[in-house]
Amino acid sequence: MLLKKDKEIRKLGPGEIYSLVEIIHAVEDDWKKFMSLIPKDLQNEYSELKYNSEDIRKIEEHANVCNEKCAKIMFDEWGTSGQIRPMLRTVQQIALKAEMMRLVDHISTMMESRSSRGQCKGPGRR
């Protein structure tokens, strides 16, 4: 299923979130690196950061209690906070800053447009 870059992360399906979470957790503390780069104001790349080390610690504790992956809890919390909610492209931009190229590539694949897939129209079709 192809997704739009402006789809809010809170509206992603469970399988889509699961794939992002698994990639972030492929390297043990990458989720912390990712979370530490989330800006408070998503429209201002120079904004102060939304989360600090105490917030990261709370996510870790909650994940242990709930037996969930930290990145899943992070996406749940971040996806429903603030007036302007994070979108798939926001995740990709932060992943790029964090140099998480596997995540960047995966999101690109998720957002790939049908027109860029090189569909063959066949003879006589426009």
Reading the block at residue 43, the tokens are 């429209």
pLDDT at 2: 61
Which CATH number, 1.10.730.10, 3.40.50.720, 1.10.533.10, 3.40.50.920, labels domain 9-113?
Answer: 1.10.533.10
What are the phi and psi torsion angles at 90 (to 5°)? -65, -45
pLDDT surpasses 50 at 96 = yes
Q: What is the DSSP letter of 49?
A: B
* 3-class state of residue 100 by DSSP: coil
Q: What is the DSSP letter of 69?
A: -
- What are the sequence ranges of the domains in the chain? 9-113
Q: What is the DSSP letter of 45?
A: T
The predicted-structure confidence for 9-27, as pLDDT tens digits, reads as follows: 999 999 999 999 999 999 9
Q: Specify the residue for token string 């990458």.
A: 30
pLDDT surpasses 90 at 114 = no
Query: 118 falls in which pLDDT band (50, 70, 90)?
Result: very low
Q: Which residues pair with 49 in a beta bridge?
A: 39
Q: Which residues pair with 8 in a beta bridge?
A: 87
Report H helices in 25-119: 30-35, 53-66, 70-79, 88-97, 101-111
The predicted-structure confidence for 66-88, as pLDDT tens digits, reads as follows: 999 999 999 999 999 888 899 99
